[in-house]
Copies of this chain bind each other. A is one copy, B any other.
Amino acid sequence: MTETGRKNWQAVQEEVRRRIHARIWAPGEMIPNEQDLAEEFGCARATVNRALRNLSEAGLLERRRKAGTRVALHPVRKATLSIPLLRKEISDRGAAYGYRRLDFRPGHPPADLARKMNARAGDGFVRVMALHLANATPFALEDRWINLATVPEAAGEDFTETSANEWLVENAPYTHGDIAFSAVSVDAEKAGHLDCPPGAAIFTIERMTWNKARAITYVQQFFRPGYRMKTQL
């Protein structure tokens, strides 16, 4: 059952996966070093390295210099979520995308949010509430604060035609962001916009994006009841 052919990095990866899965290399156990594996598989060490590095990033292996490579004891399940623009998500589902701005006004975020956004006294903000529709029915409601101190150009926009999301993608690239997923009961106002009963359980995504140390925007999106975010392990 030993494979002897010369292997490319994907074949090496598959063979290592197989051995882990078949318990030939058990969880917590050391596996041979790159040099030896390269000889066994008849390929260069760099090829083995590529395969093992990939498996390590996937959480199946743990690698340390000098200590060597071992099979992860508790293979951490890692799932990669891609968070598309709502326009794209809706049209990918074959539905017609619609956008409606509900409210737009200057203002100040609540104290705890201002603190999380690392806001300074005097920073200006605008708040935008908007609805994304799929085939003319509510799909997601978004409640957004934009920091004008970070994105002064946003002061000239009112987001009646273009969603703040898309405007920001074009005009205010971010360096990093935080994202959180949770469930909430919607209040009567939001329920009205989403066309669902007050108190319904709603899936929400909160996102804060940053340009270096300055917050660009905070947004909370409320999805229609029944929404499921899916991905692979």
Contacts and interface: CB of A to CB of B under 8 A. Distances in A.
B81 A81 contact: yes
A152 interface: no
A177 B232 contact: yes
A181 B228 contact: yes
B74 A88 contact: yes
Contacts of A88: 74
A105 interface: no
Contacts of A77: 82-84, 177, 179
Contact of A76 (B82, B184, B199, B204): B82
Interface string A173-193: 111111111111100000000
A148 interface: no
A78 interface: yes
B79 A229 contact: no
A174 B209 CA distance: 35
Contact of A229 (B76, B169, B175, B182): B182
Given A181-B181, A182-B228, A201-B185, A169 B75 contact: yes
Contacts of A75: 169, 173
Given A59-B82, A74-B85, A78-B83, A201 B184 contact: yes
A201 B229 contact: no
A167 interface: no
A21 interface: yes
A193 to B, nearest CB: 17
A67 interface: no
Contact of A78 (B81, B174, B207, B229): B81
Contacts of A200: 185, 201
A233 interface: yes
A202 interface: yes
A218 interface: no
Contacts of A179: 77, 79, 230-233
Interface string A77-110: 1111111110010000000000000000000000
- The 10 residue pairs across chains A and B that have the minimum distance between CB atoms: A183-B183, A177-B233, A201-B201, A77-B83, A183-B203, A183-B201, A182-B228, A185-B201, A180-B230, A181-B229
